[in-house]
Structure 1
Amino acid sequence: MSDIRHPYLDSPAPIAFAHRGGTADGLENTAWAFRRAVDLGYRYLETDVHLTSDGVLVAFHDASLDRVTDAGGRIADLPWSEVGRARVAGREPVPLFEELLEEFPEARWNVDTKSDAAVEPLVEAVRRAGAWDRVCVGSFSEARLVRARALGGSRLASSLGTRGVADLRLLSRGGRAAERLLLAAARRRGAVCVQVPERAYGIRVVDPAFIAAAHRLGMQVHVWTINDEARMHALLDLGVDGIMTDRLEALRTVFTERGVWA
């Protein structure tokens, strides 16, 4: 195994991630949801970030407010004064990402940057909070990850991008010479983990060869979003290093049954 390491991953594996803080009562990505997750014993919290029209970084999944709040409109088109009045499930405010870093100083955050505009404010928020050890940045956009790593350098933990994931799956079948090439690419990218669904476009992503290749390159494998207890057990049996779930009690039960709940 290589020496690609980061303090973000200082917890014994496997890691339980509270995806969007859990989806209880429809209150995803709210301070209430994250408090509940922490109270249940979760140390790793997953969220997403967008930037308002006047440059405020908010923790929110969708590009618009329509699905989960009592307001509407695209976040990128709205000032914070309007986004701040919206209520998730008609009840909880949309949180500022920096406020979450402050309220949960012991938590580790897995952050999906959902827009190009959010990348620099996200890295700047991590810098201001001195939270380099507590944040891992991910994105479906390779360009956003490249930009985040350029801004944060080796201090910033990140997951492997979509191109790197495709390379890893392909090269996991290709022997040690291919792995050496991937290791060099992984070092350039600065990834400390790979975060993937079980399947994508009908193709199985997570299998023993994929996990073994990631481990030989020093990267953990985290799988999202798993809400079925049988699948949780199956993935842990395969040797994955982390599971993201909306069903917090279910994952905690599975980890407890296996003696790995930290």
Structure 2
Amino acid sequence: MGRKTNVVLTVGAAGVAAWAASKVVAKPVPREGKKALDFDNPVILAHRGGLAEAPENTLAAFSKSAELGVHGFAVDIRLTKDEEIIVFHDEFADRTTDFSGRIADYTLSELKMADAGYQFEDEDGNHSYRGKNVEIITLRELIQKFPHMLIVINLKDSPDTYEGSLIPSKLWRLLEELGAEDCVAVTSSYDEQTDRFNLYAQNKVATGAGDNEVKRAYASFTSMFGHLYSPRADLFRIPEKLGVFSLGTESFMKFLTQINIPVYFEGVNDNESFVKLLHVGAAGFITDRPTVAMKIVQDNVGD
């Protein structure tokens, strides 16, 4: 046996010893649960109100989904020129019928004059329409209209922008004023944004994992040291796949469930995916098609 072989075996043995020692010393610590995420059955959240079934981000869409019996909504928020928080997906105002340029270039009163509804399909899924005579709504209006619904709020503005630097504090002040701390969860693809928000919220509001946190969790899961993973968020909202990596597996769900992290899958709209993810342990769905989702869950989950 040569010197190189001895070195490799020694390093390998040291790695195994470190892993064994860490298994003895460290145990997975479950994340403390948040009231907003306390559900007995899988949660259905209408994405932007159910954008495939009604004009997205409008009161018409949210009301229609609420009548179906969904548990809540998943929305994006933006900050206007006069620092009001509106429910809107894109950075650019051309998703309305009347304006162009950035949302941050207009005041709330100006945006209220636009037809806000974008496109959705008819019942046969054949045509798209723009909603007419539908108004942009503020996050305040949405929470006040549906005070008992879970609203998963996604901070869209980049932390590097002026709007992004302000919105975490603006959001916290609004939630605190409305007493809505226990009926929302705050997410962002930018981990920095939820960290900033939590500086104000001090763990009083459920927060979601950003892109880097999801990658960190998955890397821990696939390594020998998954038992050392300590989550920095209360909720994972993730796609079924992240590049070539499949996140919708029973083993990954079990890994997160044992540390009390519910997983809401987004972008799920077809029957096959709903059923598959229910069976691997999905805690919820963020869907464009709440009608389909409600039926699938009712048919596949016992009372």
Q: Contact conserved, 1:14 with 1:260, CA < 8 A, in 2?
A: no
List per-residue Cα deviations over 1:192-247 (Å, max 9, x = no partner). Answer: 11110111233322222221111122101110011111110011111111111111
Secondary structure in structure 1 of the residue aligned to 2:182? helix
Matches within 5 A, 1:142-221: 142-175=191-224, 177-180=225-228, 182-183=229-230, 186=231, 189=232, 191-221=233-263
- The Cα RMSD (Å) is 1.7
Structure 2 Cα separation of the partners of residues 85 and 200 of structure 1: 39
From the two aligned structures, give the one with the greater strand fraction.
Answer: 1
Letter in 1 for 2:251: A
Matched, 1:235 2:277: yes
Q: Contact conserved, 2:53 with 2:61, CA < 8 A, in 1?
A: no
Structure 1 Cα separation of the partners of residues 289 and 302 of structure 2: 17
Aligned-residue offset at 1:260: 4.9
2:68 to 27, 34, 40: 40
Specify every segment of 5 or more residues in structure 2 that has no aligned partner in the other structure, as ranges.
1-28, 118-130, 158-163
Matched, 1:82 2:110: yes
Specify every segment of 5 or more residues in structure 1 that has no aligned partner in the other structure, as ranges.
none
Secondary structure in structure 1 of the residue aligned to 2:50? coil
List per-residue Cα deviations over 1:10-35 (Å, max 9, x = no partner). Answer: 22131111111102455111111111
> Are the structure 2 counterparts of residues 252 and 53 from structure 1 closer, same or farther at C-alpha, using a change threshold of 3 Å?
same
Matched, 1:131 2:205: no
Aligned pair count reads 254
Aligned-residue offset at 1:174: 2.4
> Are the structure 2 counterparts of residues 217 and 259 from structure 1 closer, same or farther at C-alpha, using a change threshold of 3 Å?
closer
TM-score (norm 1): 0.91
1:20 to 45, 48, 57: 48
Structure 1 Cα separation of the partners of residues 106 and 190 of structure 2: 23
TM-score (norm 2): 0.80
Letter in 2 for 1:143: E
Larger radius of gyration: 2
Structure 1 Cα separation of the partners of residues 97 and 184 of structure 2: 26
List per-residue Cα deviations over 1:32-69 (Å, max 9, x = no partner). Answer: 11111111101221111000011111011111121354
Residue in 1 that maps onto 2:299:
257
Structure 1 Cα separation of the partners of residues 189 and 97 of structure 2: 24
Q: Contact conserved, 2:54 with 2:61, CA < 8 A, in 1?
A: no
Secondary structure in structure 2 of the residue aligned to 1:66? helix
Q: Contact conserved, 1:17 with 1:45, CA < 8 A, in 2?
A: yes
Give me the identity figure in percent. 26
Residue in 1 that maps onto 2:86:
58
